[in-house]
Amino acid sequence: MVKKMTIAIDGPSGSGKSTLGKALAQRLGLLYIDSGAVYRAIACKVIDSGASMEDRPAIIDAARKGNISLEGPPDRLTVLLDGRDVTQRIRLPDATSASSIVAAIPEVRDAVVEKLRRMSDAGAVVMDGRDIGTRVFPDARVKLFLDASLEARARRRSQEESERGRLVAIEEVEREIAERDSRDTGRAATPLVMASDAILIDTTELTVEALLEHALEIVERHG
């Protein structure tokens, strides 16, 4: 039954969505799709074209025309943009900042929803993002909504940035996350909200192993 299951994982930045998504997909042998990588790739296409982040038509055009694919196993996912490997590029600060700007545009979100659904046509999938359970897969059998304290999320994101060679004060990371939360929850197009049938998991005090086991129990109950 699990092999036919769609698992939607939503939540704010730093709550553990991608960590859990990759782990679940790997454990269950399912396709993993990081929806955030798609928005980041679109942001990169706009930035690298020289267009302004205020040029709405250019952003929408990039979202509609950008050929984006995700390849490889969950723990070594490769992001391709128009045939170019942008796996590392999309994690740079400019792409991170721009991704939430492009994601606030309704036409961009419409284009991405279409891309995400096409990516998952092949079969069962684990997908994480901010509107997966409410917009992309409203009929998903399992919907998880992850959350954690701002302090815990900033600590995790700071560690990720450090591993990428970017040393940032924890206070700055907290500010960036708080600003992202505000944009995500306040945008008019499919804001970040928990689906009415989603299961809330507070990851503040959970280890990755404990989070995975808890999620697997939920999946098993719904299988």
SS (HEC) of the chain: CHHHCEEEEECCCCCCHHHHHHHHHHHHCCEEEEHHHHHHHHHHHHHHHCCCCCCHHHHHHHHHHCCEEEECCHHHCEEEECCEECCCHHHCHHHHHHHHHHCCCHHHHHHHHHHHHHHCCCCCEEEEECCHHHHHCCCCCEEEEEECCHHHHHHHHHHHHHHCCCCCCHHHHHHHHHHHHHHHHHCCCCCCCCCCCCEEEECCCCCHHHHHHHHHHHHHHHC
Higher pLDDT pick, 183 / 218? 218
Distance CA 154, CA 146 (A): 15
Query: Containing domain of residue 181, as a range?
Result: 1-30+125-223
**pLDDT for residue 189 is more than 90:** no
CATH code at 11?
3.40.50.300
pLDDT 10s digits, 93-118: 899 889 989 999 999 999 999 999 99
What count of other Cβ atoms lies within 10 Å of the Cβ of residue 150? 17
**Confidence category of residue 123, pLDDT binned at 50, 70, 90:** confident
How would residue 164 be classed by pLDDT, with cut points 50, 70 and 90?
Answer: confident
Q: What is the pLDDT of residue 143?
A: 98
Pair (53, 80) in one structural domain: yes
Q: Indicate the pLDDT class of residue 2, thresholds 50, 70 and 90.
A: low
Last residue of a domain, one of 100, 123, 146: 123
pLDDT of residue 178: 93
Q: What percent of the chain has pLDDT over 90?
A: 80
Provide the mean pLDDT of the chain: 93
**Residues 193, 219 within the same domain:** yes
pLDDT of residue 190: 85
| Residue 196 and residue 93 share a domain | no
- The pLDDT assigned to 154 comes to 95
pLDDT at 1: 45
pLDDT reading at 4 higher than 70: no
What integer is the mean pLDDT of 170-189?
A: 89
Both 48 and 70 in a single domain? Answer: yes
% pLDDT > 70, the chain: 97
My answer on whether 47 and 99 are in the same domain is: yes
- 4 in the same domain as 111: no
Q: What angle do CA 206, 179, 155 make, to 5 degrees?
A: 30
Domain boundary among 123, 157, 180: 123
Residues 218, 201, single domain; the answer is: yes
> Which pLDDT belongs to residue 188?
82
- Which of these three, 103, 123, 143, is where a domain ends? 123
Q: Is there a single domain that holds both residue 57 and residue 129?
A: no
Over residues 151-171, mean pLDDT: 87
pLDDT of 30-42, one tens digit each? 999 999 999 999 9
Residues 17 and 83 placed together within one structural domain of the fold: no
- Same domain membership, residue 213 and residue 194: yes
Is residue 20 located within the same domain as residue 46? Answer: no
106 and 22 fall within a common domain: no
Instruction: Count Cα neighbours of 138 within 13 Å in the Cβ-side half-sphere.
Output: 6
What's this model's pTM, rounded to 2 decimal places? Answer: 0.91
Domain count within the chain: 2
